[in-house]
Amino acid sequence: MTPLNVAVFGAAGYTGALTARLLQRHPTFELRTVTARSDVGRRLDDLYPHHRVPLVLEELDLDRHAQVDAAVVAYPHGAAAEVVAELVARGVRVVDLSADFRLRDLGTYEEWYRAHPEPALLPRAVYGLPELYREQIRAADIVANPGCYPTATLLALAPLANAGVIGDVVIDAKSGVSGAGRAATDKTHFVTVDENVSAYGVPRHRHTPEIEQELAALGAQVTVTFTAHLLPLDQGELVSCYVTPLNGGPQEDARSIYLEFYDGEPFVEVTDRPPGVRDVRETNICRISVHHDERTGRLIAFGAIDNLWKGAASQAVQNLNLMFGLPEGEGIS
Amino acid sequence: MTPLNVAVFGAAGYTGALTARLLQRHPTFELRTVTARSDVGRRLDDLYPHHRVPLVLEELDLDRHAQVDAAVVAYPHGAAAEVVAELVARGVRVVDLSADFRLRDLGTYEEWYRAHPEPALLPRAVYGLPELYREQIRAADIVANPGCYPTATLLALAPLANAGVIGDVVIDAKSGVSGAGRAATDKTHFVTVDENVSAYGVPRHRHTPEIEQELAALGAQVTVTFTAHLLPLDQGELVSCYVTPLNGGPQEDARSIYLEFYDGEPFVEVTDRPPGVRDVRETNICRISVHHDERTGRLIAFGAIDNLWKGAASQAVQNLNLMFGLPEGEGIS
Amino acid sequence: MTPLNVAVFGAAGYTGALTARLLQRHPTFELRTVTARSDVGRRLDDLYPHHRVPLVLEELDLDRHAQVDAAVVAYPHGAAAEVVAELVARGVRVVDLSADFRLRDLGTYEEWYRAHPEPALLPRAVYGLPELYREQIRAADIVANPGCYPTATLLALAPLANAGVIGDVVIDAKSGVSGAGRAATDKTHFVTVDENVSAYGVPRHRHTPEIEQELAALGAQVTVTFTAHLLPLDQGELVSCYVTPLNGGPQEDARSIYLEFYDGEPFVEVTDRPPGVRDVRETNICRISVHHDERTGRLIAFGAIDNLWKGAASQAVQNLNLMFGLPEGEGIS
Amino acid sequence: MTPLNVAVFGAAGYTGALTARLLQRHPTFELRTVTARSDVGRRLDDLYPHHRVPLVLEELDLDRHAQVDAAVVAYPHGAAAEVVAELVARGVRVVDLSADFRLRDLGTYEEWYRAHPEPALLPRAVYGLPELYREQIRAADIVANPGCYPTATLLALAPLANAGVIGDVVIDAKSGVSGAGRAATDKTHFVTVDENVSAYGVPRHRHTPEIEQELAALGAQVTVTFTAHLLPLDQGELVSCYVTPLNGGPQEDARSIYLEFYDGEPFVEVTDRPPGVRDVRETNICRISVHHDERTGRLIAFGAIDNLWKGAASQAVQNLNLMFGLPEGEGIS
């Protein structure tokens, strides 16, 4: 097969750099370019030795860099939309790691973020959670890669949402520090995080509307309580979802509903015991369990992912594979 | 003042050893004896160098060891009750770190644990959370030191329970590994815990009935959802409590209710921002914040403690201080 | 190519389990059997979910299990030799992860370990450090996989030993906890290791004679000072080697010697700056730097590996690849 | 006793803030002022909640702030000397945490640092390691608090230096991240440090001349090899010292030499086994062991301290206690 040329824009951050690594070793894609807004001129394998990508970070030059079949944009929200628009205009198919194309409703985006630079493109974007939108992703030219928390949460809750039994849900999320990005701040200093745990972004975390949008698409119209916590680990994310069931809850055993819903899914594992994030470290896998609390009637669902992998970079590659008709797990299994 | 003689029974475990350290440096208590069921004959400062208690662990001999004014029993539940009974019979005033005297209802104890060895003593025991039972503790000869999770949870929820606004509550608890005790198992092996987080004891954790009992005593008759998670840190515990309010919630600002409820409490800090467990490490302090989520109407309360200190050993000393009419913070401030 | 059948004996421990994972996904080897002395009957992917090897641990039955082309033995020293002997007698080519065949001199083995169960086999074993013994490994039927500390140390020192400039050397080694194995003990308990660092096995660590044997084979007859330290991390090992040079030290720049010595080596990286173990995590790579201290005349060489990978499992696969004429990096790149 | 007024200049950093905490609870000193160059106007208990110092960080105003009996200066080297000079000129007795007054030889200072702003004051400064300079400290008005590495190293080596048996020494030091200070950089980012270990400052670390100066003062004229490593822990420092002995080494058992040398020292513990940094966490204690390697003839000495306590803040208080005739352990035991 002719190699497919691909570029990663914004490869100096954690998720862009990991995407570059995965694409650089991908059997079909050929990584042509990595750009960055900081660290221009540095080699990526100097900045991230363990990724071993021997390319120099370049300053963005769309005339040259858009000569590719596909691109992954790893810019902050707000900054991403314009680059995505330029790429799409040049015929490049894009996976966008930012929040800019995740919310289908412009008003919701502008309530939680700011004015949208490219609202006309919103209808063309597909929400890039393959387990829910596999067919739409195949045909899309803009795929909005989900946030890490929504990825874990939606996979943990989709079977219940689909079964129509979610009345209310509290989501308590726990993330490793890489989720906070590469910026060196008081909050990411080792001495701040070590031997610590605390909540942040209370009570309004920006991943909330994304979760609500997709639960609603599955049939669950709920206003969710979502709280994120920072933990002393590097990669890994666990969501603990406490569901107050509707209509007396599911008629059958909750675990059976999950096994059936995810039957054949290559990157979802349904387990008996609560999953740990170590079990999915450096993989594209989401590991899920569901439990029934007889005393309260609640259903408790856990979802564990690697926030940099299934929560960002490897899911981006999974989406690219789908968009170009490749085996879904190529380069990420 | 004449020194008060005190013994720690079961000082080879984490909480017993820390209690011994605190009492050994206490200005009024004089630590006479440390006993253990394992490690007899070893010096405590060999087993726990950082505690620097130069006493030898002895095998229990009540005829000799009960010649004290006060005792702390740090045995596992089930094993503790008999020792407590013998001590009380000899006129020793006891703080018990086990679960044996925490539940006032025998049936509830036997449902969650096993047959109770000394049910006749249950009515004599006082629940040792000074912020709720200060006066009763002063007069008690058996004080049941609360579990670590109930300590953090009840302090985080008491103002709302007292205000009559708790309709329902989900408690998501996160604990460091010392909470699992000194036993070396697969679950406490460094390689299992490091870079990991997962829930355990789902969906029935034995601290649940203790929380419900005390919330009910405050006026909140609720069946709680309680889930504990193990985190890669040594000491520290955070509870995140998601409260669905009754009656439209509190009429005034939730934080004001907390400030008023805890006004003058020496070991409770009410903060603006979500507390971190680093802020209370190696202290007897519980740090609390409360937040109102306007979107869902929920109240979110966080409580952070050091599970070995306020969650066990230093709270035991706080109770002893009260029982013997000493300044409440002596030896633990 | 016809698949080559392989078995892992002793797959319940960390290194055996990881070897099984690597072989299970290897393009040429086909993993037929995993045995263990504990946990018989458990699935390996239940014991180690993240390895995802869907095989059941069996009790050793050589009549059945020796029907393979190759085997990796991951038994403790002393127990390994007999199994290796039986396998070799049946025509199976073996990589042994224990210390039993690393020391060529029987007396040295018996001084540091105990009576050797199969001394007659010692001359048939090849020391499995491919960077030093590549050709001999290709022809061997017993390959003694090096210890983790010797792997990092020898790779860090080989260019200087080969250049004839090592007069004396102090080796200060630092290892993650997985190096201590899966046994749950006081020493591997999270609370013991966390926020801690200390030396162990002072002053006689069993990896010392292995290092001296191989330095001597390279021409450096030295009695080394070797001290190991346990660090709060899971995988990773760093050796800091302080060399007092002979004969005024190397004539040319030390780094040039290293670059030349390792030119073309697929799994050695020579860097400018001191390497970190994160840079080699979950890889078969040894990352090395060398520095000249002008004030003292000493040469300082650092070697970083993943103790479970290049220090054990992936190096075993590298050896198997060589033994069977496969590309050296197959299944481990 | 009339309280002694004290100020901490530069209290926004880790060591200054901890010094402020220790002095704020000191029975004799009364902390009047905390100043900072950043974070002016913030309360110290907002910046460092766990220190619980309810004072506002002020901008330095010597006319007001020098109205104290004693001061601790926690400025970076270079910046400290001028403040110290101004304070001394106003009759304030000072402990300086910087390197500015540690080196008695101006040329050595200027070789390793830069031009010295106040060379005339050098002869008035005393090196603040109480175990070596107790009497001189009592009379000094400028005490140069030792660096963290020199503290641990000198305490680990002093008995051998004093015995005249150090021929050569290699010092391999390991430090927690708080040693790198509060600045948020790539190097102190949690994700950089976690699961990592590497050397830094190779081969010239600025603590080297300080170690050599003091070893020489004890009679050991050696050029030392000193290498520091960064470890994934917050507080704690271990030095491993490899001594090639002179004159056949000590005539008596090395451990006896240490026990005798440190007999009666309140803050030094000589142990049988290699010390761990957990054993000295949040204490002013240095824990030391010494071992003889019969194979090589070397002596191996380990020293463990808490880099923020005995390596900086609590040692500063120990020095203040000596300077003002107070019990040496007041406020730090």
Q: What is the pLDDT of residues A301-325, one digit of tens each?
A: 999 999 999 999 999 999 999 999 9
Q: What is the pLDDT of residues A51-108, one digit of tens each?
A: 999 999 999 999 999 999 999 999 999 999 999 999 999 999 999 999 999 999 999 9
Which residues of A are marked as active site?
A: 148
Closest residue in B to C189 (Cα) is B189
pLDDT at A219 over 70: yes
Which chain C residues are closer than 8 Å to B188 by Cβ? 184, 189-191
Task: Note whether C280 contacts A195, CB cutoff 8 Å.
Answer: no
Q: Which residue has the tokens 């990595």?
A: A34
Dist CA D4 CA B110 (whole Å): 59
Query: Three-state SS string across B308-321, please?
Result: CCCCCHHHHHHHHH
Q: Do the beta carbons of residue C199 and residue C227 sit within 8 Å? A: yes
Q: Which residue has the higher pLDDT, B251 or A90?
A: A90
pLDDT band at B252 (very low <50, low <70, confident <90, very high): confident
What does DSSP assign to residue B261?
H
pLDDT band at D60 (very low <50, low <70, confident <90, very high): very high
C-alpha distance from A165 to closest chain B C-alpha (Å): 18
Task: Note whether A172 contacts B172, CB cutoff 8 Å.
Answer: yes
Helices (H), chain B: 14-24, 44-47, 62-65, 80-89, 106-112, 130-139, 148-162, 190-193, 208-217, 254-261, 313-323
Which chain D residues are closer than 8 Å to A178 by Cβ? 191
Which residues of C are marked as active site?
A: 148
**Contacting partners of chain A (3+ CB pairs under 8 A):** B, C, D
Question: Is omega for the bond preceding B203 within 30 degrees of 0, making it cis?
Answer: yes
Q: Is D272 on the interface with A (CB under 8 A)?
A: no
Q: Do the beta carbons of residue B138 and residue B284 sit within 8 Å? A: no
What does DSSP assign to residue D58?
B
Mean pLDDT (chain A, rounded): 97
Task: Note whether A195 contacts B202, CB cutoff 8 Å.
Answer: no
**Contacting partners of chain B (3+ CB pairs under 8 A):** A, C, D
Dist CA D24 CA D33 (whole Å): 10
Provide the β-strand partners of residue C299.
Answer: C243, C292
Q: What is the pLDDT of residues D28-47, one digit of tens each?
A: 999 999 999 999 999 999 99
Question: Is omega for the bond preceding C117 within 30 degrees of 0, making it cis?
Answer: no
pLDDT band at C3 (very low <50, low <70, confident <90, very high): confident
C-alpha distance from D194 to closest chain B C-alpha (Å): 9
Nearest neighbour of D170 by CB, restricted to C204, C231, C242:
C242
pLDDT band at B292 (very low <50, low <70, confident <90, very high): very high
pLDDT band at B188 (very low <50, low <70, confident <90, very high): very high
Closest residue in C to A233 (Cα) is C233
Q: Is C190 on the interface with B (CB under 8 A)?
A: yes
C-alpha distance from D232 to closest chain A C-alpha (Å): 8
pLDDT at B1 over 70: no
C-alpha distance from D83 to closest chain B C-alpha (Å): 32
Q: Do the beta carbons of residue D156 and residue D132 sit within 8 Å? A: no
E strands along D153-216, which residues? 166-175, 198-200
The DSSP result for B118-138, as a single string, is -GGGGGGEEE--HHHHHHHHH
Which chain A residues are closer than 8 Å to B202 by Cβ? 274, 291, 300
The DSSP result for A146-179, as a single string, is PPHHHHHHHHHHHHHHHTT-EEEEEEEEEE-GGG
C-alpha distance from B246 to closest chain D C-alpha (Å): 34
Give percent above pLDDT 90 in chain C. 96
Q: Is B287 on the interface with D (CB under 8 A)?
A: yes
Strands C4-9 and C29-35: parallel
pLDDT, mean of residues D18-22: 98
C-alpha distance from B191 to closest chain A C-alpha (Å): 10
pLDDT, mean of residues D177-188: 96
SS3 of chain C: helix, strand, coil, percent, to 5: 35, 25, 40
Nearest one of D142, D12, D124, D22 to D76, comparing CA atoms: D12
Q: Is B196 on the interface with A (CB under 8 A)?
A: yes
Tell me how many residue pairs between chain C and chain D have CB atoms under 8 A apart: 148
Q: What is the pLDDT of residues D272-292, one digit of tens each?
A: 999 999 999 999 999 999 999
Which chain C residues are closer than 8 Å to B15 by Cβ? none
Question: Is omega for the bond preceding B146 within 30 degrees of 0, making it cis?
Answer: no
* Nearest-5° Cα angle at B38, B36 to B43: 65
Question: D261-271 in b/e burial notation, b at 16+ Cβ within 10 A?
Answer: bbeebebbbbb
Q: What is the pLDDT of residues C64-109, one digit of tens each?
A: 999 999 999 999 999 999 999 999 999 999 999 999 999 999 999 9
Nearest neighbour of D234 by CB, restricted to A177, A188, A194:
A194
pLDDT band at B190 (very low <50, low <70, confident <90, very high): very high
Nearest one of A67, A80, A78, A69 to A9, comparing CA atoms: A80
Dist CA D180 CA D188 (whole Å): 7
pLDDT at D269 over 90: yes
**pLDDT score recorded for residue A203:** 86
Dist CA B311 CA A93 (whole Å): 55
Nearest one of A234, B187, B192 to C14, comparing CA atoms: B192
pLDDT, mean of residues D309-323: 98
**pLDDT score recorded for residue B248:** 82
Task: Note whether D291 contacts C229, CB cutoff 8 Å.
Answer: no
pLDDT, mean of residues B146-163: 98
Dist CA B126 CA B151 (whole Å): 14
**pLDDT score recorded for residue C2:** 79
Handedness of CA D261, D267, D272, D273 (dihedral sign): negative
Q: Is A225 on the interface with B (CB under 8 A)?
A: yes
Dist CA C234 CA C78 (whole Å): 26
Collapsing DSSP states into helix, strand and coil, what is residue C304? strand
Which chain B residues are closer than 8 Å to D271 by Cβ? 49
The residues, any chain, with a CB within 8 Å of residue C97's CB and separated by 6 or more, are C10, C15, C16, C19, C72, C73, C74, C75, C80, C145, C312, C313, C316
Tell me how many residue pairs between chain A and chain C have CB atoms under 8 A apart: 22
Dist CA C284 CA D269 (whole Å): 42
C-alpha distance from C319 to closest chain D C-alpha (Å): 27
For C278, how many CA atoms within 13 A lie in the half-sphere containing its CB?
A: 20
Task: Note whether D200 contacts C276, CB cutoff 8 Å.
Answer: no
Model-level pTM?
0.97
* Nearest-5° Cα angle at D286, D280 to D288: 105
Q: Which residue has the higher pLDDT, B223 or D249?
A: B223
pLDDT at C48 over 90: yes
Task: Note whether B232 contacts C190, CB cutoff 8 Å.
Answer: yes
Catalytic residue selected from B148, B299, B301, B313: B148
Q: What's the distance, Cα to Cα, between the start and end of chain A in Å?
A: 20
Tell me how many residue pairs between chain B and chain D have CB atoms under 8 A apart: 21
Q: Is B230 on the interface with C (CB under 8 A)?
A: no
H-run or E-run covering C133: helix C130-139
CB atoms within 10 A of CB A188: 21
Task: Note whether B279 contacts D195, CB cutoff 8 Å.
Answer: no
Mean pLDDT (chain D, rounded): 97
Which residues of D are marked as active site?
A: 148
Q: Is B89 on the interface with A (CB under 8 A)?
A: no
pLDDT at A1 over 80: no
Dist CA D121 CA D88 (whole Å): 9
Q: Do the beta carbons of residue B199 and residue A241 sit within 8 Å? A: no
Q: What is the pLDDT of residues B24-40, one digit of tens each?
A: 999 999 999 999 999 99
**pLDDT score recorded for residue D3:** 87
C-alpha distance from A107 to closest chain C C-alpha (Å): 42
Rg (CA), chain A: 19
**Contacting partners of chain D (3+ CB pairs under 8 A):** A, B, C
Give percent above pLDDT 70 in chain A. 100
CB atoms within 10 A of CB A152: 32
pLDDT band at C10 (very low <50, low <70, confident <90, very high): very high
B108, B168, B170: best to mutate for the A interface, most A CBs within 10 A: B170
Nearest neighbour of B189 by CB, restricted to C184, C195, C232:
C184
Nearest one of C260, C259, C265, C257 to C299, comparing CA atoms: C257
pLDDT, mean of residues C301-324: 98
pLDDT band at D252 (very low <50, low <70, confident <90, very high): confident
Task: Note whether C282 contacts A282, CB cutoff 8 Å.
Answer: yes
Closest residue in B to C234 (Cα) is B191
pLDDT at D1 over 80: no
B50, B175, B191, B196: best to mutate for the C interface, most C CBs within 10 A: B191
Q: Is B278 on the interface with D (CB under 8 A)?
A: yes
pLDDT, mean of residues B245-269: 94
Supply φ then ψ for residue A159, to 5 degrees.
-60, -35
**pLDDT score recorded for residue D247:** 80
Dist CA A324 CA A319 (whole Å): 9
The residues, any chain, with a CB within 8 Å of residue A264's CB and separated by 6 or more, are none
Q: What are the Cα distances from residue A287, in Å, to A214, A272, A307, A329?
A: 19, 10, 13, 16
Q: Is D49 on the interface with B (CB under 8 A)?
A: yes
Dist CA B63 CA B58 (whole Å): 13
Q: Is C136 on the interface with B (CB under 8 A)?
A: no
Exposed (0-12), middle (13-18) or buried (19+): which is A311, by Cβ within 10 Å?
buried
Q: Do the beta carbons of residue B157 and residue B301 sit within 8 Å? A: yes
Provide the β-strand partners of residue A56.
Answer: A43
Q: Do the beta carbons of residue A317 and residue A26 sit within 8 Å? A: yes
C279, C280, C282, C284: best to mutate for the A interface, most A CBs within 10 A: C279
| Structure-token pair, residue B303 | 């409580």
Q: Which of residues 58-87 of B touch A (CB under 8 A)?
A: none
pLDDT at B124 over 70: yes
Q: Is C283 on the interface with A (CB under 8 A)?
A: yes
Nearest neighbour of B197 by CB, restricted to A200, A202, A238:
A238
Supply φ then ψ for residue C292, to 5 degrees.
-110, 125
Q: Report which residue type is found at A172.
A: D
Exposed (0-12), middle (13-18) or buried (19+): which is A35, by Cβ within 10 Å?
buried
Interface confidence (ipTM) of the complex: 0.96
Q: Is C189 on the interface with B (CB under 8 A)?
A: yes
Q: Which residue has the tokens 């299970």?
A: C24
Dist CA B180 CA B312 (whole Å): 13
pLDDT band at C225 (very low <50, low <70, confident <90, very high): very high
**pLDDT score recorded for residue B36:** 97
pLDDT at C1 over 90: no
Dist CA D116 CA B191 (whole Å): 49
Between A99-108, A202-211, A237-246, the lowest mean confidence (pLDDT) is in A202-211
**pLDDT score recorded for residue A204:** 87
Q: What is the pLDDT of residues A270-286, one digit of tens each?
A: 999 999 999 999 999 99
Task: Note whether A287 contacts C49, CB cutoff 8 Å.
Answer: yes
**pLDDT score recorded for residue C248:** 82
